[in-house]
Amino acid sequence: MGDGEEKIMSELDLHLLRYGEIGIKSANIRKHFEDILIQNMENTFLDRGEELVIEKKDMGRIFAYTQAENSYLFSRTFGLVSFSPAKRSDSDISKLQIEGKKFSRSISGTFAVRARRVGEHDFDSQDVEDMVGEAILEEDPDLEVDLDAPENEFHIEIRHSDAYVFTEIIDAPGGLPVGSQGKIAAYVEDERDFLAAWLIMRRGARLYIICEDQELLERLRKWDVSIKEIRSESTADLSSIDFPEKAQALVVGETISDRSKIDTDLMVLRPLIGFTEDRIEDMLSRIERLEWEPDTL
């Protein structure tokens, strides 16, 4: 890492990014998927003119630096399951107790310390939780420990000689990074079609979009800045649309109750085929939550 990049990192905020499904792949496939995930994030930030520096990867974690106000972009990154604004510390227990005391000064009510550990140490995770919790209570005896439903949580993730402390775990969509699987055409006319396209993207497919609704098209572009739009004089007859040769299938938002015959040579995917109305509404609501931006919080 050069001096210029280190200077940029010093002006940005550290974020601990977590992926899930990618971690169960073989070493070569995992590295390939990690590289695609990182490239997707870099493209997203670049598209918005924002800085992102990836420091390193380490066993299910990616360490990224960006301005705190840009962290919402991680929430719409397929492949990530969650992320946390974090602070790097030393894995020495006394240093972590100091961080715990700082945490105690900004909270009231109940709290819990959650620790996890990677590497060889002369203590275990329970030791960390106990000793840091004692330091927090020493700093503010009015606080109370509640391990089941605390009002405040202090997280510590120890990775070898470093430790990362954070108080938030923010949801992300999970799945696989876009571009890790094939290319799929998507017919998007309404919110159900939007959901079907989103679910296929979550499985790693990159989309060719047929969509006359600019609002839905722009929503999908929030999830992948590299989406390709298929333009056609008429979308009423899908058999007349010239699909790209690389498109392996067509995804639509039909359910079992409104399934129709679609005239196309492409395999037709219907990911909503067994969904109830409640399930569809729940998933659309979750997507809306993941699409949050700073000024809408």
- Please write the tens of the pLDDT for every residue from 276-287: 999 999 999 999
Q: Are strands 247-251 and 183-188 parallel, antiparallel or unpaired?
A: parallel
In the chain, the percentage of residues whose pLDDT exceeds 90 is 78
The hierarchical CATH code for the domain 3-88 is 3.30.70.1510
Per-residue pLDDT tens digits for 143-194: 999 999 999 999 999 999 899 999 999 999 999 999 999 999 999 999 999 9
State the Cα–Cα distance between residues 6 and 12, nearest whole angstrom: 10
Taking 3-state DSSP, the helix, strand and coil percentages for the chain, each rounded to the nearest 5, stand at 35, 25, 35
Residue 177 has what pLDDT? Answer: 97
pTM metric for this prediction = 0.90
CATH 3.40.50.620 placement within the chain = 183-296
CA 275 to mean position of chain CA atoms: 24
CATH 3.30.70.1510 placement within the chain = 3-88
Q: Residue 94: which of 59, 66, 127 has the closest Cα?
A: 127
The CATH superfamily assigned to 183-296 is HUPs (3.40.50.620)
Contact, 255 vs 275, CB < 8 A?
Answer: yes
Residue 7 has pLDDT above 80, yes or no: no
Half-sphere exposure of residue 125: CA atoms within 13 angstroms, side-chain side = 12
Q: Is 283 exposed, middle or buried (0-12, 13-18, 19+ CB in 10 A)?
A: middle
Q: Residue 142: which of 111, 165, 113, 114 has the closest Cα?
A: 111
Average pLDDT over residues 244-253: 93
Average pLDDT over residues 12-26: 93
State the Cα–Cα distance between residues 167 and 83, nearest whole angstrom: 11
What CATH number does domain 92-160 carry, 3.50.50.60, 3.30.2130.30, 3.40.50.300, 3.30.300.10? 3.30.2130.30
